[in-house]
Amino acid sequence: MSIGTSDDRSPDGDVFHPTPDLVARANVPVWEAEAGHARQDLTGYWAKRAQELEWYHPWDQVLDESNKPFYKWFVGGKVNIVHNCLDRYTKTWRRNKLALIWEGEAGDHRTFSYHALNREVCKFASVLKALGTVKGDRVTIYLPRIPELIIAMLACAKIGAIHSVVYGGFSVEALHGRIMDSHSKLAITADGGWLNGKIVRLKDMMDEALQRSPTVEHVIVVKRTAQEVTMEPERDLWYHDLMSLPIASPKCETEVMDAEDPLYILYTSGTTGKPKAVLHTHGGYMVGIYATLRDAFDLKEDDRWWCTADPGWVTGHSYLVYGPLLNGATSFFYEGAATYPYPNRWWQMIERYGINIFYTAPTAIRGLMRFGEAWPNRHDLTSLRLLGSVGEPINPEAWKWYHRVIGKGRAPIIDTWWQTETGMFLITPTPVVPLKPGSATRPYFGVTADILNEEGQSVADGEEGYLVITSPWPAMLRTIYGDADRYVKQYWSKYPGKYLTGDSAKRDKDGYYWVIGRVDDVIKVSGYRLGTAEIESALVSHPAVAEAAAIGLPHEVKGTAIHTFVILRTGHNPSDALKEELRAHVGHEVGPIAKPEEITFVDKLPKTRSGKIMRRVLKARAQGLSEGDITTLED
């Protein structure tokens, strides 16, 4: 069986038409009508969607474009996203409904009704306040996939603190950099987390990171694995101790926020240098993720929704934590690995919990396909109504397997294109849109996209170009935290007034978008976003390395894998042992996900006369392709 990632997507290939039952029950039954409304009256459209949620005080202006590209949404509006996720349900029947179902890797499980979740969030918010956390403070969260991660995020948002979640798979150095950049006063971690039957020692890594992070005054530690950890007196506090003290009051007022007040920052890899903090707000972000999840996934309050993403990435923030609660759904959340202890773990949980909508990444599908159909076929998956995909283009083989074997030929695949920066889906079908495997179909309601050539003109259908977004949307990033220049430069300068996505794409005659991939120095490894600069600077921080270049090359399961080229310092000789050492070094500096697939020792790297490494040339050579225009090559 082939699971290949070769780009054999074809606009003239199979088309999957929506089934009448799904059309009949869809939240948005007629796509054209909704799209037309949004096209004719963008601000009116978003005002209507915002009114579906509760505001403490209505906005005076839907969209303020007076200081582009620093757009503002719902100006003058007073709101708190947590009010709409939890507070507003406490007086309705929904307080008794399950908000969260969680399963640990070892098979332990916990459930929270909306009432119970709200109570935990209130208690923890009171604790945060008692420790001196106030509106606008940054809080770094470095936790495994356990309910306390969600509770901590919501508690921060409730009191107006800005959460900065760091993915538990990132290393000490990455964690340290993010704590320093955000000037966090408080950090939240756990003694450890379970993954593949092993303990990830998060507290030890936090301790190491904090040796050089003077801003952090307190560390709250959740007990998950009960292994021995060192607790620094005064600084470190156990979560369960704090939650049993009188300071953990279940009565805690939700902070009234301006719509434009920051909700969170989230670090993501860019074209150059260190990862940058993307900033999202309470008002517009809330409206955007609420509406997109409701429309694209036809989410209903009686649905059980499962998004497999880690909350440490934007997919987790938007569509695991906030989106399902805004829609009053029940969200399922799993701690561990997809194949632990056997490759049927996910399918078993879909059956056990009766999941209706399942949202995952192409790399996970390809990984699980390798184990064969017998594993999913052992389970009753008929509860599934819709399937979703995100993170990279999905290749047709994986699309069709997912549709046939998991979706039993009935559940459509909602392929959602978006980014950390966009906050919400921007190109996505809904259940009433005909699907073409490998295309995220058309821009969402109110979203206008284009594909441009180098000169800024729209390219003809079928031609490749830069994917841009030409009108603002409510969940858009507002800036890069602490680096507004960078925000303007990176996203709004190549084509003034248009948002540059960093992806290339084609559009077909039906107006469907086919995203090809990143055209900047960002690599998507197993759907995770990494920058060549991070990997290269990790390599050159090793004493044996003089220079390094990283590129992404196609990989059957990962989509793209990291290949690196290294020039050694004199006195160091190439060896397999050194390769292993360098891989481990990158793992330590960035995180296990950044370990290069391949390290090649070279004497020279192709460079421009101004000294810039020509990764494009390395990539072409590695794939045996034409090197293209190399007139700027140094020699």
Could you list the residues that contact ligand WT7 (CB under 6 A)?
268, 314-315, 390-393, 415-420, 440, 501-503, 515, 517-518, 524, 529
Tell me the C-alpha distance between 608 and 616, whole Å. 11
Number of residues assigned to the chain:
635
**Strand-pair category, 276-281 with 262-268:** antiparallel
Considering the complex, state which of residue 367 and residue 502 has its C-beta at the smaller distance from ligand WT7.
Answer: 502
- At closest approach, how far in Å is the CB of 518 from ligand WT7? 5
* Distance of closest approach, residue 393 Cβ to ligand WT7, in angstroms: 4
Distance CA 308, CA 310 (A): 7
SS3 174: helix
Report in angstroms how near the CB of residue 242 gets to ligand WT7 at its nearest. Answer: 33
Q: At what angle do helices 42-50 and 283-296 cross, to 10 degrees?
A: 90
Q: Are 83 and 90 in contact (CB under 8 A)?
A: no
Least separation, in Å, of the C-beta of 326 and ligand WT7? 17
CB of 315 to ligand WT7, least distance (A): 4
What is each CA distance from 608 to 107, 190, 216, 267, 534, in whole angstroms?
Answer: 55, 47, 43, 30, 21
The closest alpha carbon to 281, from 424, 489, 125, 172, belongs to 424
Query: Which DSSP string corresponds to 108-121?
Result: -EEEEEHHHHHHHH
Closest to ligand WT7 by CB, 292 vs 564, is: 292
Cβ closer to ligand WT7: 165 or 259? 165
Residues 6+ apart with CB under 8 A from 574: 568, 601
Residue (283 or 393) nearer to ligand WT7, CB: 393
Cβ distance to ligand WT7 smaller for residue 133 or 501: 501
Max CA-CA distance within the chain?
72
- Smaller CB distance to ligand WT7: residue 81 or 500? 500
35-49 per-residue burial string, b: 16 or more CB within 10 A, e: under 16: beebeeebeebbbeb
Cβ within 8 Å of residue 631, ≥6 positions away: none
Closest CB to ligand WT7 among residues 170, 418:
418
Q: For ligand WT7, which is the closer residue by CB, 376 or 517?
A: 517
**399 touches 438 (CB < 8 A):** yes
Q: How far is the CB of 425 from ligand WT7 (least distance, A)?
A: 8
Q: Which is nearer to ligand WT7, 220 or 426 (CB)?
A: 426
For residue 413, the minimal CB distance to ligand WT7 (Å) is 10
- Contact (Cβ atoms closer than 8 angstroms) between residue 158 and residue 282: no
Cβ count near 572 (within 10 Å): 16
Distance CA 229, CA 207 (A): 10
* Beta-bridge partners for 567: 547
Please report the DSSP string for 378-417 in residue order: TS--TT--EEEE-SSPPPHHHHHHIIIIISTTTS-EEE-B
Q: How far is the CB of 479 from ligand WT7 (least distance, A)?
A: 16
Least distance in angstroms from the C-beta of 416 to ligand WT7: 5
Q: Shortest Cβ distance from residue 167 to ligand WT7 (Å)?
A: 11
457: DSSP letter: P
Residue with tokens 């006369």: 609
Give the residue with the Cβ less far from ligand WT7, 334 or 513. 513
Nearer to ligand WT7, 220 or 467 (CB): 467
State the minimum distance, in angstroms, from the CB of residue 278 to ligand WT7: 8
Smallest gap from Cβ 356 to ligand WT7, in A, equals 21
- C-alpha torsion angle, residues 591, 597, 599, 605 (rounded to 10): -90
**Shortest distance, CB of residue 352 to ligand WT7, whole angstroms?**
27
Nearer to ligand WT7, 344 or 420 (CB): 420
Residue 269 to residue 538: CA distance in whole angstroms: 14
Q: Would you state the structure tokens that stand for residue 549, as one six-digit string? A: 């270049």
In the bound state with ligand WT7, the residue whose beta carbon lies nearer, of 393 and 437, is 393
Element (H, E) at 141: strand 138-142
The number of CA neighbours under 13 Å toward the Cβ of 441 is 24
Q: What is the CA radius of gyration of the chain?
A: 24
